[in-house]
A = this chain, B = another copy of it.
Amino acid sequence: MSERIYNFSAGPAVLPETVLNQAREDLWSLAGTGIGVMEHSHRGKAFLAVYDQAVALCRELASIPDNYKVLFLQGGASTQFFSIPMNFLTPDKTADYLVTGSWSKKAVAEAKRFGNAHTASSSADKNFNYIPQEVNYSDNPTYVHFTSNNTIFGTEYQTEPENPAGSFLVCDASSDIFSRPLDISKYGILYAGAQKNLGPSGVTLVIIRDDLIESGSADLPTMLQYRTHAENDSMFNTPPTFGIYIMAQVFAWLKDQGGLPAIQKINEIKAKKLYDYLDSSKLFQGTAEPDSRSLMNVTFVTGNEDLDKKFIAEATAAGLDGLKGHRSVGGMRASIYNAFPEAGIDKLIDFMSNFESTNG
């Protein structure tokens, strides 16, 4: 089997090797059925066992209360950006958005099509390099929407923001879902594209409270009503079966690691190593404010674009792939999601130290 390299991609991203190995078996024949996992009917016993496992492990990992449904949808977070206001906003209602980067901005733009979208906080003044503490809520927001982790800018909410009484909290957790324990009861809706911490692109995990399923607009295309998917166990139409299968495998792997408290410790150790090195480096600087730093995406620069380019090229040649930062920040970004191995962090730090010696 060919050698694998360290993959710092921001998403789609590295998956656990045990999951990949199991998937290679199951692509050919799932659980001894003689039919591969992609080829099984979504209504058949073999896939239903996969689906049941995915839901049960998801609920167990995050201690999801009984009054929430777990849905596997399509269309990514971008589809949730419009589905949520389409279901819950009207021109006389207001939703509050905490704007901490590109994804929140896109979510605001879609909300404006359906009602009032009030920017209750923003870190745009410093190119989104921090999580704002000051929030100015509107009088009576229907919901408060935030992005828990900002892939591009390397920032992350350290705890959930408060939301005013009478509103519900909505979170785009695409890039840090299940990287640490979370209290689902604080949320009305929590959603995440799978392609960073949960599986392949093409499946979106949506955890939604029952009363919101009931209160969402009933006057929408069938596929855009949450009740459609809740009432049909995400199988109103053919779900993305392979993506759900991989998520089930990733959930099982997470449980084997010790669940969310254990993966949080591992993630903290991994990120601390890299941030400690950045804080000690004379060549590299982290771009996010220290109290807003992400455990998932570590952004840094040398302050010299040519040197950044040289670093990225040499790192890539050394088997450290995907380190180029997003164009809106520049520099470098190391995405170190749950499945990214600590050994890859050590190798990156070694490489950075050597680069600093030669180019500092």
Q: Is the CB of A201 within 8 A of B238?
A: yes
Residue in B9, B11, B29, B240 whose beta carbon sits within 8 Å of that of A201 in the complex? B240
Q: Is the CB of A75 within 8 A of B78?
A: no
Closest to A10 in B: B41
Q: Is the CB of B24 within 8 A of A2?
A: no
Binding stretch for chain B, among A12-20, A263-271, A290-298, A352-360: A12-20
Residue in B4, B42, B81, B200 whose beta carbon sits within 8 Å of that of A28 in the complex? B4
Q: Is the CB of B74 within 8 A of A75?
A: yes
Q: Is the CB of B224 within 8 A of A82?
A: yes
Beyond the given pairs A9-B40, A78-B236, A193-B238, 13 more chain A to chain B contacts, judged by CB atoms under 8 angstroms and listed by A's residue number, are A2-B29, A4-B28, A11-B238, A12-B241, A15-B38, A76-B237, A78-B223, A86-B221, A106-B222, A110-B221, A113-B221, A201-B239, A240-B240
Q: Is the CB of A200 within 8 A of B242?
A: yes
Q: Is the CB of A202 within 8 A of B322?
A: no
Question: Taking the complex as formed, is A321 at the interface, i.e. its CB lies under 8 A from any CB of chain B?
Answer: yes
Q: How far is the CB of A49 from chain B (nearest CB, A)?
A: 15
Q: Is the CB of A221 within 8 A of B2?
A: no
List B contacts of A224 (CB < 8 A).
Answer: 82
Question: Taking the complex as formed, is A70 at the interface, i.e. its CB lies under 8 A from any CB of chain B?
Answer: no
Residue in B28, B38, B81, B221 whose beta carbon sits within 8 Å of that of A1 in the complex? B28
Q: Tell me the complex Cα distance, A41–B137, Å.
A: 37
Closest to A195 in B: B238
Closest to A80 in B: B223
Residues A41 and B202 in contact in the complex (CB < 8 Å), given A2-B32, A223-B75: no
Closest to A3 in B: B34
Question: How many residues of chain A are within 8 Å of chain B by beta carbon?
Answer: 67
Question: Taking the complex as formed, is A319 at the interface, i.e. its CB lies under 8 A from any CB of chain B?
Answer: yes
Q: Is the CB of A221 within 8 A of B10?
A: no
Q: Tell me the complex Cα distance, A33–B106, Å.
A: 33
Q: Tell me the complex Cα distance, A241–B4, Å.
A: 19
Residue among A10, A28, A86, A199 with max Cβ neighbours from chain B (10 Å): A28
Q: Tell me the complex Cα distance, A211–B1, Å.
A: 48
Q: Is the CB of B12 within 8 A of A201?
A: no
Question: Taking the complex as formed, is A313 at the interface, i.e. its CB lies under 8 A from any CB of chain B?
Answer: no
List B contacts of A11 (CB < 8 A).
Answer: 41, 238
Question: Taking the complex as formed, is A5 at the interface, i.e. its CB lies under 8 A from any CB of chain B?
Answer: yes
Q: Tell me the complex Cα distance, A78–B238, Å.
A: 9
Q: List 28 A-B contacts (CB under 8 A).
A: A1-B29, A2-B28, A3-B34, A9-B39, A11-B238, A12-B40, A12-B238, A14-B35, A15-B36, A38-B201, A44-B322, A75-B237, A77-B237, A78-B222, A78-B223, A78-B236, A81-B223, A82-B221, A82-B223, A109-B222, A193-B237, A201-B239, A201-B240, A201-B241, A202-B239, A202-B240, A202-B243, A240-B240
Question: Taking the complex as formed, is A299 at the interface, i.e. its CB lies under 8 A from any CB of chain B?
Answer: no
Q: Tell me the complex Cα distance, A238–B76, Å.
A: 7
Q: How far is the CB of A299 from chain B (nearest CB, A)?
A: 16
Question: Taking the complex as formed, is A62 at the interface, i.e. its CB lies under 8 A from any CB of chain B?
Answer: no
List B contacts of A203 (CB < 8 A).
Answer: 202
Question: Taking the complex as formed, is A7 at the interface, i.e. its CB lies under 8 A from any CB of chain B?
Answer: yes
Residues A41 and B20 in contact in the complex (CB < 8 Å), given A4-B28, A76-B238, A78-B223: no
Q: Is the CB of A321 within 8 A of B110?
A: no
